[in-house]
């Protein structure tokens, strides 16, 4: 499974601001690289939340989930307000690998 952290470029602060997270459930990315697939999905999902869709970028991360965290895959899309607890859980999953 691949997770994508979705950011918006903040040109004033010269850094990215976290918008949300996407969780890719499919294994076949239809010939696209993970970054291309995630960026396309991020622009469709979060494009209405930003002024410039070109300011959106993603950081993909491969993740293997345990059986007790499979619920993450069911939702698939998390907005910034939901990410605080989810982000910590994913970091714990990455450390356990």
Residues 38-92 pLDDT 10s = 899 899 999 988 888 999 999 888 766 665 556 666 666 777 776 666 666 666 6
Give the E-state strand segments of the chain in sequence order.
2-10, 15-24, 56-62, 77-79
Angstrom distances, CA of residue 54 to CA of 44, 58, 66, 68, 88: 12, 11, 35, 36, 28
Alpha-carbon distance of 93 to 65, in angstroms, equals 7
Domain ranges of the chain: 2-96
Instruction: Please tell me the pTM assigned to this model.
Output: 0.68
Give the per-residue pLDDT at 65: 60
């Amino acid at each position: 499974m691949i997770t994508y952290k979705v950011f918006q470029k903040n040109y004033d602060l010269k850094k990215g601001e976290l918008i949300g997270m996407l969780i890719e459930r499919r294994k076949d990315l239809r010939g696209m690289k993970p970054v291309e697939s995630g960026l396309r999905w991020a622009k469709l999902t979060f494009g209405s939340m930003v002024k410039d869709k070109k300011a959106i970028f993603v950081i993909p991360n491969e993740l293997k989930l345990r059986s007790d965290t499979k619920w993450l895959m069911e939702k698939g899309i998390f907005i910034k307000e939901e990410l605080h607890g989810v982000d910590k859980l994913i970091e714990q999953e990455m450390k356990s690998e």
